[in-house]
Amino acid sequence: MVVVTGQNKVSGNPDDAMSSSDAEDDFQEPATPTATQAGQALPLLPQQFPEVVPLNVGGMYFATRLSTLRRYEDTMLAAMFSGRHYIPTDAEGRYFIDRDGTYFGDILNFLRSGDLPPRERVRSVYKEAQYYSIGPLLDNLEDIQPLKGEKVRQAFLGLMPYYKDHLERIIEIAKLRAMQRKARFAKLKVCVFKEEMPITPYECPHFNSLRFERSESETKLFEHHCEVDVSFGPWEAVADVYDLLHCIVTDLSDRGITVDHQCIGVCDKHLINHYYCKRPIYEFKITWW
């Protein structure tokens, strides 16, 4: 009799006929490889690297010293080439990094000698530095244009309540109107106002002065919603309405949206007595194709 178990070898006379259980074994799925078998298929760790490391980054070839890749300890590159991790190689033996290599040369130049990329590549290199977790390069890039100016701009936009939500609303309204009308473009009205209180010809307010000249009960008398699709404001900063309009158009353009805008008047809604809303109204025209 032939006895088959999960761990023991088959026992019995080799000349015996094959039993039904043997036939079934022929159709069983192979067992999961053991750790020993898996270890035979992959190189053993830790991985050893040459002093000069050939690299294939997304199909682009580079070569650099191992010490360059390990320049800063807390980076992804230092961890990858520490020997603790396995890195695959291509057919030519180059160590492969599955990442677009367009700006990897700028990464290497910084690791080699601290060189920074030209202005037109700063944003792109910054994204790569984030991916590779190169803190010193990130710090240097944040102190030069255009990233330094972007930090100032974001500080201003931080004063805008729901700024990003309003951008999304502009896009959604414009898309819906264009689809409903089967048109190339869509128009919507946007109010951008800096002062919290309405301005009238009878007042010459200083910066935010109206806000402090009226009591809370008087302020409620002036509360209203302009008849527009989206409204931005108020805010307290030196930056004016045109600065915020520039931010809105820039952020929409960065998302591939073509937008033109022009002032078409003011709200002019009657409030109380001789007071009228004088918040500027802009027409946004978004072209989809």
Q: Within the chain, which residue ranges are assigned CATH 3.30.710.10? A: 50-143
Residue 204: the pLDDT is 45
- Nearest to 235, CA basis, from 266, 207, 203, 268: 207
Q: Where are the beta strands (DSSP E) in the chain?
A: 52-57, 60-65, 95-97, 185-192, 230-232, 258-266, 280-287
Which residues are CB-neighbours of 191 under 8 A, at least 6 positions away?
226, 228, 230, 231, 232, 233, 267, 279, 280, 281, 282
pTM over 0.85: no
The lowest-confidence range among 63-67, 205-209, 250-254 is 205-209
Looking at domain 50-143, which CATH architecture does it have? Answer: 2-Layer Sandwich (3.30)
For the cut 90, the answer to whether the pLDDT of residue 13 exceeds it is no
Cα–Cα distance measured from residue 187 to residue 170, given in angstroms and rounded to the nearest whole number: 10
For residues 71-89, give the mean pLDDT: 94
**pLDDT one-digit tens code per residue, 147-202:** 999 999 999 999 988 999 999 999 999 999 999 999 999 999 999 998 765 555 44
Residue 225: the pLDDT is 78
For the cut 70, the answer to whether the pLDDT of residue 78 exceeds it is yes
Cα–Cα distance measured from residue 15 to residue 71, given in angstroms and rounded to the nearest whole number: 67
